[in-house]
Structure 1
């Protein structure tokens, strides 16, 4: 299933289910109102949301509405923690607060893309297989840093279960392509091959993880000369060109006045 958190004036937004083709959505009211509720009680709530998603995909919900990515917060605006695992196994930990996919960046910054895995409860010293079993959702994230300091982490509009990834998901690995538009011009795409279970197991090596912990697998720096007034769009797509998580689509605003 595909899930999003619609802005409603609250810190966490309102949980919605999104159709497979990203055209329709339906509030999850009566089942769960926030993403964290789902993660805290996955075994009970997830099957009900799956049923709702099936009905939505078959056009059987009277109160479905057009999905508008611009209304989305990050899928999990306040996680239990955010850590990025580098290709060499190094871990960088930060707070678990995530910006919306369309929030302007307030100054040019260095960007690093990551495939983000959202987990349920995971015991310390779990292996990759157990970590993969505890993984609930995946999304695309971007870390933004100025002079090495993290200033924002943005997420794509959607968090999805692995079964929605189609041919791009096999044996616990995601294989996809990161597409990038800079000021409307296509940049060279980047092939992605990531194993989120391994990243979660790395985080759980010495301590347990709570439901809502988010682990990012670094997809590398953007290496783009960004300037105020630029626009940037990042989208992780299947080999067939289908968007997996919706796009991070933002403008870079001038820095705030001193």
Structure 2
């Protein structure tokens, strides 16, 4: 099934069940007022939500209304925890080389992960506001999972059962700030202003055979101002899977229901799949010509991220954020 949040009812929005073609929605206050409430009581809420989804799919849900993507918040407008990894080592190696940083000595044994801002996310069609173009705004096209309660010590083998939802992610990054912030040794803060997520989150069974319990075998499409940037497959060249990321995060603490876990900008070894962020494209330009020629995002630029099924239909809806001055 597919779930979304309307920009109404407070900071956590109003939960709606969305039709498979993303055209219709139904409010479900009798089941859960918000997606966070549903995730916290998933064993009870999920079957009831699935019944509404089935009725909506059949076209016999009288409470349905037309979905306007502009009125949608992030599926989770805020989250108790947002963790983002970097499991496409090809991307990580290039990004670090571009800013003159070495790879961590254990990067092939322990996933790289940071805890990001989660008290607010911008909506899938909201502007991304930044104070200054000189901060080097970049996008990162990613896939993220939402988990239920994960006990401390959960193993990778046990982790798949805790994945309740998947959604697309644009993890905005201010690349100029990373050059001075990360060497301090305390990780990201100012360099990660906020993120945006796809209009809907989907349950794993909605993805069919493309989802194997730990990775999704589909390309993620990104473009800037209508010009295609990349179509890398999210399963290919994934050094650590979502199961490994969950186990890594839960090694010394439990994870609360609604925790979001990303896997980093998607990057394939095949150069024909393009790029999921500007940093990697600029790194290739520097390697080839000695300097980067592609600019960072500027005011007025529009970034679009989407994923299509085998029939060409949008699975999650499109993230479509314009860059604006704060």
TM range (shorter): over 0.9
Alignment map for 1:12-31 (pairs within 5 Å): 12-31=12-31
As a proportion of its length, which structure holds more helix? 2
Q: Secondary structure at the match of 1:187?
A: strand
Q: CA RMSD in A?
A: 1.6
Distance (Å, rounded) in 1 between the aligned partners of 2:21 and 2:39: 24
* 2:304 aligned with 1:233: yes
Contact 1:235 1:247 survives alignment (8 Å): yes
SS class of match (2:255): coil
- 1:89-238 correspondence runs (5 A): 89-96=111-118, 97-107=120-130, 108=133, 109-146=137-174, 147-148=177-178, 149-193=191-235, 195-220=241-266, 222-223=277-278, 225=295, 226-238=297-309
Once the 2 structures are TM-superposed, how far is the Cα of residue 235 of structure 1 from its aligned partner?
Answer: 0.5
Give a deviation string over 1:80-113, Cα, whole Å, max 9, x none.
1111111141111123232211111123512222
Q: Whose radius of gyration is greater, 1 or 2?
A: 2
Q: Deviations over 1:48-99 (max 9, x none)?
A: 0000100000011111111221111000112111111111411111232322
Measured in 2, the distance between the counterparts of 1:183 and 1:21 equals 25
Partner of 2:286 in structure 1? Answer: none
| Aligned position for 2:86 | 86
**In the alignment, what sits opposite 1:52?**
52
- Measured against aligned partners, the alpha-carbon deviations of 1:207-240 in whole angstroms (never above 9, x if no partner) come to 1111111111113451163211111211122343
Unaligned runs of 5+ in 1: none
The answer to whether the 8 Å contact 1:168/1:238 transfers is no
CA contact (8 A) 1:2 1:18 kept: yes
Asked if 1:5 corresponds to 2:76, the answer is no
Unaligned runs of 5+ in 2: 88-106, 179-190, 267-275, 279-293
Normalised TM-score (structure 1)? 0.93
Runs of 4+ in 1 over 4 A off after TM superposition: none
Q: Distance in 2 between matches of 1:49 and 1:183?
A: 37
Tell me if structure 1 keeps the 8 A contact 2:215–2:234. Answer: no
